[in-house]
């Protein structure tokens, strides 16, 4: 767990992000979990504004996934929750079902874009069932289970010069959180550039 002793009142722009790795075998100690480190490391590089991570490693149990998501949003105050794992067609892959059960509004564009990115690498990306949705004022995103795929779907695809070929989903996340009356998330453009309409951008900080 990585529950840090920070509170939004201490830092108004603090974004609290829930990270949930869903795996029977990793949660049972069969092998080390790779999902949480991959999520945390990428986000730590991408986000330059204050951020607090709350981490959970749980098995593929729909009821437990639902209660975990509800707790992270309703009790822990996460403005963003990212899950990894459990989005395929196998019988134990129930992350989308659990997510759909707790969200109030679905955001289908995120899942569509994740599949478009993954299809650049493997045809089996069409088997992925990642989805996203809003609960209260929080955004919940289902990500792939492999660390490489996590990074690709968040950052998108770039050529050797750094030109964006296929936008990653995280480019739209800060503005979505802003529209939900959440904190103003800033990113490192070298990792991913957050997109906002001009009217929604803050003026640059004076040095």
Is-contact 93 86, C-beta < 8 A?
Answer: yes
Q: Taking Cα atoms as reference points, which of 206, 161, 171 lies closest to residue 192?
A: 171
129 pLDDT exceeds 90?
yes
206 pLDDT exceeds 90?
no
Q: Phi-psi region for residue 181, left (φ > 0), alpha (ψ -120 to 50) or beta? A: left
Q: Taking Cα atoms as reference points, which of 41, 72, 87 lies closest to residue 140?
A: 72
CATH topology of domain 15-200: Molybdenum Cofactor Biosythetic Enzyme; Chain A (3.40.980)
Give the pLDDT score at 1.
40
197 pLDDT exceeds 90?
yes
The set of residues, in sequence order, having a beta carbon less than 8 Å from that of 112 and lying 6+ positions away, is: none
Average pLDDT over residues 123-146: 96
Neighbours of 11 (CB within 10 A): 14
Instruction: In whole angstroms, give the CA distance from residue 188 to residue 176.
Output: 17
Cα dist. 32→27, 60, 67, 78, 114 in Å? Answer: 8, 16, 23, 25, 25
Average pLDDT over residues 171-198: 96
Domain locations along the chain: 15-200
161 pLDDT exceeds 80?
no
207 — pLDDT class (breaks 50, 70, 90): low
Instruction: Read off the DSSP letter of residue 181.
Output: T
Average pLDDT over residues 47-76: 98
Tokens 């995280």 found at: 170
State the DSSP string of 146-164.
SHHHHHHHHHEEE-TT--E
Q: What is the mean pLDDT of the chain?
A: 92
Average pLDDT over residues 80-94: 97
- Kindly state the tokens that stand for 34: 């790779």
Give the pLDDT score at 117.
94
For the chain, what percent of residues have pLDDT higher than 70?
93
Predicted TM-score of the model (pTM) = 0.91
Give the pLDDT score at 4.
43
Average pLDDT over residues 153-161: 85
Average pLDDT over residues 3-9: 44
Give the pLDDT score at 6.
44
Report the SS3 class of residue 90.
Answer: coil
160 pLDDT exceeds 90?
no
Report the SS3 class of residue 2.
Answer: coil
Give the pLDDT score at 12.
66
């Amino acid at each position: 767990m990585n529950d840090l002793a920070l509170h939004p009142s201490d830092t108004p722009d603090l974004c609290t992000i829930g990270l949930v790795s869903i795996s029977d075998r990793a949660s049972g100690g069969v092998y080390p979990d790779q999902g949480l480190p991959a999520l945390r490391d990428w986000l730590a590089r991408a986000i330059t504004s204050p951020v607090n991570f709350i981490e959970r490693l749980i098995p593929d149990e729909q009821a437990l996934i639902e209660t975990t998501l509800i707790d992270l949003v309703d009790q822990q105050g996460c403005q963003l929750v990212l899950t990894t794992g459990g989005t395929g067609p196998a019988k134990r892959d129930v992350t989308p079902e659990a997510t759909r059960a707790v969200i109030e509004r679905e955001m289908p564009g995120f899942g569509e874009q994740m599949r478009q990115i993954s299809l650049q690498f493997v045809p089996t990306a069409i088997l992925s069932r990642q989805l996203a949705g809003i609960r209260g004022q929080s955004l919940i995103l289902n990500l792939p289970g492999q660390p490489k795929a996590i990074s690709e779907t968040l950052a998108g695809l770039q050529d050797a010069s750094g030109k964006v070929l296929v936008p990653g989903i995280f480019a739209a996340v800060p503005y979505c959180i802003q529209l939900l009356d959440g904190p103003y998330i800033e990113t490192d453009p070298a990792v991913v550039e957050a997109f906002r309409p001009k009217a929604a951008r803050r003026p640059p900080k004076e040095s």
